[in-house]
Copies of this chain bind each other. A is one copy, B any other.
């Protein structure tokens, strides 16, 4: 039987990786479709807003990676126990995504001189600002990013962490022991460990 879920993205980890982590953690089978760049123009027409990833399920199609990750998190029981807990989880995920978006903007900056300055500011100011606060939050939440226990925010963070490492060209979390321990703890979960070892090797 074909899997009930089909996730289509490019052949990279990118913003689909949190979704893949969550499916793997919950043992939910999914079709991990990775389209080639030459297929993209034709495929783009079939997507809701010209973007990937797209999740297909029961003949329906939906875009937006964080919304999809939240949906999968509900299926694999990695959400909060009430509305306020879910708010705290959602806020942390969006905050990590804010930091990620700042890096993406720098990545796409074409002016090399400007890019260098922006990157220095990001590494010397933006990163420490966010990571110091996130590290304290993990310390206060018994080793997790929200509500004092394992939630999809932890998976969102761990699955995205290699992108931050690439940006700083090293271990982005070396100075942040609580974040580093959390990342390592998620990556050591057997289903995640196995996925990291067997997933397609891609640059980002």
List the interface of chain A (C-beta within 8 A of B). Answer: 48-50, 55, 57-58, 60, 62-64, 66-68, 70-71, 74-75, 83-84, 86-88, 90-91, 93-95, 98, 129-130, 133
**Minimum Cβ distance to chain B for residue A125 (Å):** 11
Whether the Cβ atoms of A87 and B62 lie closer than 8 Å is yes
A57-B84, A84-B57, A133-B49 known; A91 vs B75 contact (CB < 8 Å): no
In Å, the complex CA distance between A63 and B83 comes to 15
Given contacts A49-B130, A49-B133, A57-B84, contact A91 B74 (CB under 8 A): no
Chain B contacts for A133, CB-based, 8 A: 48-49
Report whether B50 and A70 are in contact in the complex, using a CB–CB cutoff of 8 Å.
no
Which among B62, B70, B86 is the interface contact of A71 at CB below 8 angstroms? B86
Residue of B nearest to A101 (CB): B101
SS class, residues of chain A in contact with chain B: helix
**Cα A91 to Cα B61 with chains together (Å):** 11
| CB nearest neighbor in B for A63 | B91
Cα of A188 to Cα of B202 in the assembled complex, Å: 51
Find chain B residues with CB under 8 A from A62 CB: 87-88, 91
A–B pairs, 17, beta carbons within 8 Å: A48-B95, A48-B133, A49-B129, A49-B130, A49-B133, A50-B129, A55-B87, A62-B87, A64-B90, A66-B90, A67-B94, A70-B86, A70-B87, A70-B90, A71-B83, A71-B84, A74-B83
